Amino acid sequence: ENSLEVALQMALSVPLDDIAAYPKLSKAYYSFIEILFRSHKTTIFQLDTTIFMQIMTTVHDGLQSSDATISSFCANAIDHLTTYYFYNQGKDKIEMRNLNKHLAAQPNLFSSLTATLFNLLLFGPPQNHWAVMRPMLSLMLASESSFAAYKDHLLSSQSPENQAKLNETLTKLLADVNRSLDSANRDRFTQKLTAFRVTARQFLTL
């Protein structure tokens, strides 16, 4: 436990500009953050909200990295976070109390991540789209209102003709998707996201 705390303090002491500037450092940092969200949720959720949000800012930035390894680490970190939230929301656990405190201080966290993930899927480079698909289902189930808000925003940015096409594609995306994060449902949704990306990119305008 002491080793974990020392490693965490070292990671948090690295200037944000250095994380972005040095590729080897970036990969080490984001690999560590992914492990924290995967296996040490108690530790990361009990951090001060300012520090937790500092970490989430770096995850949000890393998600948009041109390096597929870094964006994959960040996507997995988000998936660990939102999967945990989906399965444990409403439960009286110390981890959830701490996480809810962070979300209350930054209520747009899930909506911001949703918008970035979908924008990367629809408008981003092709090498990133496999990575960004991983947390999309868990994020949508953890915060359905965030997806609804992004859908409304995307529709409002398109012409009436494109809005009709987009509504149809979104309906296909959401058809037969269950409120479950079992592997079969995840795989089915990933296949649907791939088809959604291909179809929507044919007519969407920036």
Q: Which residue has better confidence, 35 or 128?
A: 35
CA 26 to chain centroid? 18
Q: Does position 75 have pLDDT exceeding 70, yes or no? A: yes
Report the alpha-carbon distance of residue 18 to residue 21 in Å, rounded: 5
Rounded Cα gap, residues 146 and 120, in angstroms: 16
Q: Supply the pLDDT for residue 78.
A: 98
186 vs 128 pLDDT, higher one: 186
What is the structure's pLDDT at 89? Answer: 96
**pLDDT exceeding 90 applies to what percent of the chain?**
84
User: Helices 183-200 and 160-174 sit at what angle, rounded to 10 degrees?
Assistant: 160
The b-or-e profile of 153-182 (16+ CB within 10 A means b, else e) is ebeeebeeebeebbeebbeebeeeeeeebe
pLDDT at 126: 80
Mark residue 176 as left, alpha or beta (left: phi above 0; alpha: psi -120 to 50; beta: remaining).
left
**pLDDT tens-digit series, residues 76-104:** 999 999 999 999 999 999 999 999 999 99
- pLDDT digits over 128-167, tens only? 788 899 999 999 999 999 999 999 999 999 999 999 999 9
pLDDT of residue 5: 85
Residue 127's pLDDT band (cuts 50, 70, 90): confident
| Contact status, residue 150 vs residue 91, Cβ threshold 8 Å | no
Q: What is the pLDDT of residue 169?
A: 96
